[in-house]
Structure 1
Amino acid sequence: MTSFLKHLTVAAALACALASSGLADTLAQPQDTVVLTVSGDITATNSGETAQFDIEMLSQIDPTTIETTTIWTDGPQVFEGVALNTLLTQLGVTTGTIVATAINDYSVEIPVSDAVAGGPMIAYKMNGATMSVRDKGPLWIVYPYDSRADYRTEVVYSRSIWQLDRLAVVQ
C-alpha cells in the first residue's frame, strides 16, 4: 500500500471513529424559546460548548410517557417527555453527576447512574398539556414513583426538580 493510501485510510478511520464516538456531534439549532441548556462534560453541542433545546427539539427525542402519582399532585398523572437516559446518550454522557438547576437557581445533584431505562424523564407535558412556570414547568424531572419502592424516597423526591432550565454534567 502506498504511503498516500495508508494516510487516507488512517484519516478515514479517524473520521469514522470521531463520528461514532459523538466527538464530532452537533445538534440542530432551537427555533423557539430555549427551555433547557446543558453544559459540562457533553460531546454534542449547538451553542458554543453547550446544548440548547426548545420544547420542539425535546419532543423529537424519542418521546416517552410515565403514568404515576406524585407527592405534589392529586391522583395519577400522565407525564410526557424525554427519558433522562435517552437525552444523556444523545449528549454523549456516560458517567458523572448532573447538577440540575431551576429558573429560581435552586439546584440538586443527580447521579448519572439514575438515568436508566424505565427511570426518570424530563417532562414537558402533564396530562397532555404543556406546563406553565406556575404549574412546575416548563420542565420537571419526574421519576416513575409508582413503579419501584426505591423511587419513593426523600432522596429521589429531592431530585425531582421542577421549573428546570439547566443541566451541568460534572465528573
Structure 2
Amino acid sequence: MLDLNKIQAIAQSYSPQELFAALVWQRQFNQFNGKQVIIDLSQHTDLWASFLFTKPIFAPDENGLSFGGVIDTLLAMANYRPMPETSIIHFVAYPADTLYILTENQDTKVSQLLDLGKKWRADSVEVTDGTNEEYSFRLKRQLRTQLESNDIQHPRDAVVVCYWWD
C-alpha cells in the first residue's frame, strides 16, 4: 500500500540521489558495506556526478540477464515488509549488487574511484567510456554528450565506473 502523504513528503525532501544513497546505506552482504560506501562518497563529492545502485546491466543482453535482475528487484520490492530487528522473519533487502558511478573523464578522479573500489573490496571494478563495441551508438553519444558545465566552451566528457560484489 502506498501512503501518498508520506511519498509526497519524501519527494519534496529528498533528491533521487539521496534516495539511492539510502538504498546503498541499508545493504550489507559478503564484502559489501553500504554505510562505508556512502560515507566515502559523501567525503569525496568532487569525484562523482551521480551514482546508481542496482543489479548488473549487460550489453548486449542476449540471455536476458539484465531483465532477470529487474525481475529480482521487482520481486524483492513486492515482497518487502518492514520487520522489527527481533523478528525471525526477514524479507529480501533491495537486491542490488552493482554500483555505477558517473564521473568526469579525468585520470585523477578515475584513479581515486578505482582506489575506493579496492577499499570497498569490490570483486570487479571496470571503467567504460562507451567506446566498447558491445555498447550501442546511443550510449557512446550519451557519454560523449558531456556532463553539464557552466562553461559551454569546455564541455566535460564522462565515464562510468562500475563496481560489482559477488
TM-score above 0.5: no
The structure with the largest alpha-carbon Rg is 1
TM-score computed with the length of structure 1 as normaliser: 0.29
> Which one has the bigger helix percentage?
2
Q: Which has the higher strand share?
A: 1
TM-score (structure 2 length as normaliser): 0.30
